[in-house]
């Protein structure tokens, strides 16, 4: 049935698609927006005010690379004034001296710093940027010196999965309160590069054992969150807590979406802030209501006892694999297409280059045509 529309509590704000890195696993859309299409300072501040009025308690400031916005401290201060918790998600490359301290003074609550590898060579290969690893290490030190809580984010795929123990050691060395082992979700550029990013099943199983052991060993010392890989799952995850249930995302141009990959569902139209108020979008948008609750579900979801646990899983994944956004998420063992997930893993492993260093990444670049899905 249609669940009551509750206030959102979380928001992902993609302030820009610009980024000094070119990671092939990036979840940004393949059609990246240039700087001249980004919403201005006044627009973002107005949106944040309406988000606070709507009930949002925390905002994740992301991109691209959000520190490329010269008005970032002003945006943080606007959110802090409304009592909204702010988390900056950054690549930690090219941040000017004094900038982190200025963000802390503006009221920033937390920084989430991404590492593409536990070692410099891996970071440089995946991000296609020389010297990036050393810059990240320096950013981590400055975050801790500024007194801000630190999360290390490790996006995991075939090319760095064996470094999971080293990511754990790195996070401890840097004094992080939290480590996120986040297996890549195949949307945007990651979907284009799926065949060269997909790990082998045995490597995933080793990773799970390593993470579970570390979670127990480091209990009370460092929190380790684990984002499981959908393609190896038995049941799907609820997308953003369920489509338009308690969170939403805003693109750099002010387009409001239920999740970061929702624009891949071409049958839906997503409104832009300004043309519609945030409250109207949240409550009345046909796109937000398209997969809200359970009324939209097909079998086997419609009669499944898990329907209000995973809320149908990922609509964008259903679109990408089943060609139907309303289909049962193929990650679910009850999906008629669940075997397709295993077939995609096998295809990727079969196609794997014998020289992992020469695997053909299609690097993320603004204005670049990504080509067909790998």
For residue 240, what are its two tokens?
A: 């953003």
pLDDT of 372: 46
Q: Report pLDDT digits (tens) over 11-42.
A: 999 999 999 999 999 999 999 999 999 999 99
For the entire predicted model, the pTM comes to 0.93
Say if CB 334 and CB 298 are below 8 A apart. Answer: no
The confidence score (pLDDT) of residue 367 equals 75
pLDDT at 328: 93
Q: How confident is the model at residue 359 (pLDDT cuts 50, 70, 90)?
A: low
Which residues have CB under 8 Å from 258's CB, separation 6+?
239, 240, 243, 244, 248, 249, 287, 288, 291
pLDDT tens for 266-288 read 999 999 999 999 999 999 999 99
* Binding site residue list for [4Fe-4S] cluster: 19, 23, 26
Task: Please give the domain boundaries of the chain with CATH numbers for all domains.
Answer: 10-228 (3.20.20.70), 239-350 (no CATH)
**Taking Cα atoms as reference points, which of 33, 86, 51, 18 lies closest to residue 256?**
51
For residue 272 the two structure tokens come to 């832009």
CA distances from 110 to 77, 101, 114, 218 (A): 14, 12, 13, 21
Eight-class DSSP state of 36: G
pLDDT confidence tier of residue 1, bands split at 50, 70 and 90:
very low
């Amino acid at each position: 049935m249609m669940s009551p529309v509750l206030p959102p509590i979380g928001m992902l704000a993609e302030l820009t698609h610009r980024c000094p890195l070119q990671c092939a696993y990036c979840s940004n859309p393949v059609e990246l927006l240039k700087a001249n299409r980004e919403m201005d300072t006044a627009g973002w501040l107005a949106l944040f005010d309406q988000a606070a009025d709507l009930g949002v308690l925390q905002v994740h400031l992301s991109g691209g690379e959000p520190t490329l916005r010269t008005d970032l401290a002003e945006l943080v201060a606007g959110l802090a004034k409304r009592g909204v918790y702010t988390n900056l998600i950054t690549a930690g490359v090219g941040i000017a001296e004094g900038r982190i301290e200025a963000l802390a003074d503006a009221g920033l609550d937390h920084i989430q710093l991404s590492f593409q590898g536990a070692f410099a060579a891996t970071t440089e290969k995946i991000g296609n940027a020389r010297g990036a690893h050393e810059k990240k290490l320096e950013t981590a030190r400055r975050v801790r010196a500024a007194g801000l809580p630190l999360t290390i984010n490790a996006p995991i795929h075939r090319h760095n999965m064996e470094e999971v123990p080293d990511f754990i050691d790195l996070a401890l060395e840097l004094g992080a309160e939290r480590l996120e082992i986040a297996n890549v979700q195949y949307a945007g550029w990651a979907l284009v590069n799926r065949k060269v990013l997909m790990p082998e099943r045995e490597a995933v199983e080793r990773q799970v054992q390593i993470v579970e052991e570390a979670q127990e060993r480091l209990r009370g010392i460092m929190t380790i969150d684990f984002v499981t890989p959908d393609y190896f799952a038995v049941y799907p995850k609820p997308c953003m807590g369920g489509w338009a249930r308690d969170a939403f995302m805003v693109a750099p141009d002010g387009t409001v979406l239920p999740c970061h990959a929702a624009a891949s569902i071409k049958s839906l139209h997503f409104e832009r802030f300004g043309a519609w108020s945030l409250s109207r979008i949240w409550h009345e948008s046909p796109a937000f209501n398209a997969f809200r609750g359970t009324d939209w579900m097909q079998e086997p979801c419609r009669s499944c006892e898990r329907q209000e646990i995973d809320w149908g899983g990922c609509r964008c994944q259903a679109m990408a694999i089943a060609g139907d956004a309303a289909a049962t998420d193929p990650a679910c063992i009850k999906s008629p297409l669940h075997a397709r997930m295993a077939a995609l893993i096998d295809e990727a492993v079969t196609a794997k280059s014998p020289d992992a260093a020469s695997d053909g990444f299609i690097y993320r670049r603004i204005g670049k045509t990504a080509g067909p899905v790998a």
